[in-house]
Structure 1
Amino acid sequence: MDKQVRSRVSLLNPVHFLALGFGSGLAAKMPGTFGTLAALPLVVLLSHYASFSVYLVVTILVSIVGIWICGKTADDMGVHDDSSIVWDEVAGMLITMLAVPLSWQTLLVGFVLFRFFDILKPWPISYLDKHVDGGFGIMIDDVLAGVFALCLLHLGLFLI
């Protein structure tokens, strides 16, 4: 993110703070990876201390509210889907780990699968990334990457 764009956001603004993944999106390199890492404490917390229903509701809320959070921050920055906006990675990682028995192995595999789909963007993720604008456009490709990773992770767990 260049200095002019950075001057338009503030970690003191709660919307910007969330959109920037609690500040992790400001990493100089690989902000999406750092945004995904920032989601891990929330995944662990919800997996250990919340029922499936609560985990699901939080994931849905993070995803829906993320449309507004990311859209508002992108508007404030004057840049669509700046790489520093990583709330979509938080939502994607929550989706990836939905109903997955938590261990360091499943967390690692989930992380790698999500980053794989988020970075490579196979169809239809790539189509949505290029053709859908606004906060929904920022969120939908990562939500779908999370769904792809979730399906593969559950398939792997079923097969072993």
Structure 2
Amino acid sequence: MRYDLEVRWAKLIATLFGVGKLRPAPGTWGSAVAVGLGWGLLTWGGPLLLFAGCAVVFITGLWAAGLHGHSTGRDDAPEVVIDEVVGQWLTMLPLPFLAGGMGWEGLVLAFALFRLFDITKPWPIRALDRRLKGGVGAMVDDAFAGTVAGLLVLALGLTLGLPSL
């Protein structure tokens, strides 16, 4: 009984309360919801709150994605989108430090770059995706993709300036 309840909670969290069931492209839906939630955290508490949120969601996601994978027999199933939340939020972390970064241009840039890195999985993201399994694999490759995309957001924002995009 207790295990069934744990599995239900893990499924809810791993699928971001059902967002991962949306089709097509559940990862894109998860990222879109993450942008809205991340914008709220940044607006309300700044980058420190968003970073704390990343840590909490990452740790919770390790458990939820791992248990979901164990219970279904599928590692990093398409409906698991909690990893997209962490990756998207890491991509958004530089936005408050850039002029105009919190405008729609910065949010669209962060969304597009994270989806690009998450979908194409260039090296070394692909290597992490192939090597790591379970909840760790689901979470780490997206966290790394978000970190790389966030560094690119920062570089583009500093060199080009977001308001001119």
TM-score (norm 2): 0.86
Rounded to whole Å, the distance in 1 between the matches of 2:109 and 2:62 is 27
| 1:52 Cα deviation after fit | 2.5
Rounded to whole Å, the distance in 2 between the matches of 1:96 and 1:71 is 23
Contact 2:94 2:153 in 1 (8 A): no
Rounded to whole Å, the distance in 1 between the matches of 2:50 and 2:108 is 19
- Paired position in structure 2 for 1:72: 67
- Paired position in structure 2 for 1:55: 50
User: 1:16-54: CA deviations, max 9, x gaps?
Assistant: 112102211112311111111121221111110013322
- Paired position in structure 1 for 2:17: 22
What amino acid does structure 2 have at the position aligned with 1:33? T
Of all paired residues, the percent bearing the same amino acid is 35
Unaligned 5+ runs, structure 2: 97-101, 161-165
Give matches, 1:7-18, under 5 Å. 13-18=8-13
Contact 1:113 1:149 in 2 (8 A): yes
| 1:58 Cα deviation after fit | 1.2
Contact 2:22 2:29 in 1 (8 A): yes
- Paired position in structure 1 for 2:152: 152
SS in structure 1 opposite 2:18? helix
| 1:74 Cα deviation after fit | 1.1
Indicate whether 1:143 and 2:138 are aligned: no
Counterpart pick for 1:88 among 83, 101, 108: 83
- Paired position in structure 1 for 2:26: 31
Unaligned 5+ runs, structure 1: 1-8
Size of the aligned set, in residue pairs, is 151
| 1:84 Cα deviation after fit | 0.7
Contact 2:90 2:150 in 1 (8 A): yes
What amino acid does structure 2 have at the position aligned with 1:38? V
More displaced 10-residue stretch of structure 1: 120-129 or 39-48? 39-48
| 1:129 Cα deviation after fit | 0.6
Contact 1:22 1:38 in 2 (8 A): no
More displaced 10-residue stretch of structure 1: 73-82 or 103-112? 73-82
What amino acid does structure 2 have at the position aligned with 1:115? R
User: 1:51-108: CA deviations, max 9, x gaps?
Assistant: 3322211111111221111101111212111111110001100110013131111010
CA RMSD of aligned residues (A): 1.7
